[in-house]
Amino acid sequence: MKIKICGLSREEDIIFVNELKPDFIGFVFAPSKREIDIAKAYKLKKLLIDSIEVVGIFVNSPKEIICDIIKEGIIDMIQLHGEENEYYINEIKNLCNIPIIKALRVQNMQDINIDTIADYILYDSGGGSGLCFDWSLLSQYHKDKPYFLAGGINESNISQAIKLNPYAIDVSSGVETKGIKDFNKMAYIIHTIRENTI
């Protein structure tokens, strides 16, 4: 099971993940309290060890901006967290040629098996809400496409999240204290996942 720590914005955050070694980290390039600009992302990427892949989070962004960030060597994957349709995703795939994650807000069973040409799905309760959706809905999931599980995952429910066996677990606010990434919370989540999965 893979691990993604999202919303990194400080040099200290990079020091933390370089030690803890999650599989992915996320840089947010969209309006958010965790938003960073290209210059800062470039600086942080330079400090990151090579084994950790960077996911760029975008919300209805112009395709040219995404391509520019890829050309700078900042991100390895794209996460689309807005209203991007399949035509947009196809254009991004053709232009950028790196894996795409499409985030879907889960409100009911109909949201679980939406077809997309993206490489991965990310199931969330809503970008940055810090709340869980009804995970029991995932029992209806029957597609082969691997998915990221996000939204409200923290120390208190990580064991239940692991039992759902997603491709990756994605945490952000659940490893923060007062809005700042917390090394001990990150360590707990990562070690718990690694100890309970192959």
Model confidence band, residue 128 (pLDDT cutoffs 50, 70, 90):
low
Residue pLDDT, tens place only, 53-95:
999 999 999 999 999 999 999 999 999 999 999 999 999 999 9
Return the number of other C-beta atoms located less than 10 Å from residue 139's C-beta: 10
Write down the pLDDT at residue 121: 94
Locate the domains of the chain by residue range: 2-196
DSSP codes of every residue in 145-164: S-EEE-SS--TTTHHHHHHT
Residue pLDDT, tens place only, 101-118:
999 988 877 778 788 999
Write down the pLDDT at residue 127: 56
Cβ neighbours of residue 189 closer than 8 Å, sequence gap 6 or more: 3, 153, 154, 155, 158, 169, 171, 174, 175
Q: Among the residues of the chain, which ranges form H helices? A: 11-20, 38-47, 63-71, 86-96, 158-163, 183-196
Please tell us whether the domain made up of 2-196 is placed in CATH 3.20.20.70: yes
Model confidence band, residue 192 (pLDDT cutoffs 50, 70, 90):
very high
Residue pLDDT, tens place only, 1-31:
999 999 999 999 999 999 999 999 999 999 9
Write down the pLDDT at residue 129: 60
Q: What is the mean pLDDT of the chain?
A: 92
Residue pLDDT, tens place only, 134-166:
898 888 877 778 999 999 999 999 999 999 999
Overall pTM > 0.85: yes
Which sequence positions are flagged as catalytic? 6, 124
